[in-house]
A = this chain, B = another copy of it.
Amino acid sequence: MNGCGRGFRGSHGMGIGFVGPFLLLFISQKPSHGYELMDELEKFGFKIYIPDQTTVYKVLRSMEEMGLVTSAWDMEGAGPARRVYRVTDKGKEFLDSSVAQIREEEEIYKKFLDTYKKIEKGGER
């Protein structure tokens, strides 16, 4: 019981969890680091469920191990050093290949909401 998001998606073996593709999408637009990416997740629409910080950092490292991104320390600017990630060609391919799955889920969710609306109206509530 912790008021977090909802569930696996059985992505066993994908290696980058639920949030991975989103991070890959962000990094594809602009090289970025963990702390900033956390922020971007919220701006993107993650409100009720926002992944844990440690999850984000760990997924970034996983993605690097898988060769989907590379990282380098950025000492410039204020504050502590930032580990800045950049997408690789392999990362772009991965992103491309995950789109079909995302599309399916988007459709399933849309259909869920439509169906719910119907039974909510007709229902003995």
Chain A residues in the interface with B (C-beta under 8 A): 1-14, 16-22, 25, 28-29, 44-49, 51-52, 55, 92, 95, 98-113, 115-116, 119, 123, 125
Instruction: Give the Cβ gap from A39 to chain B, nearest Cβ, in Å.
Output: 15
**A6-B9, A9-B7 given as contacts; is B110 within 8 A of A106 (CB)?**
yes
Which residue on B lies nearest to A104, using beta carbons? B48
> How many Å from the CB of A14 to the closest CB on chain B?
5
Known: A100-B48, A109-B105. A11 touches B7 (CB 8 A): yes
Cβ contact of A22, chosen from B17, B92, B99, B112, cutoff 8 A: B112
Most chain-B CB neighbours within 10 Å: which of A6, A10, A55, A125? A6
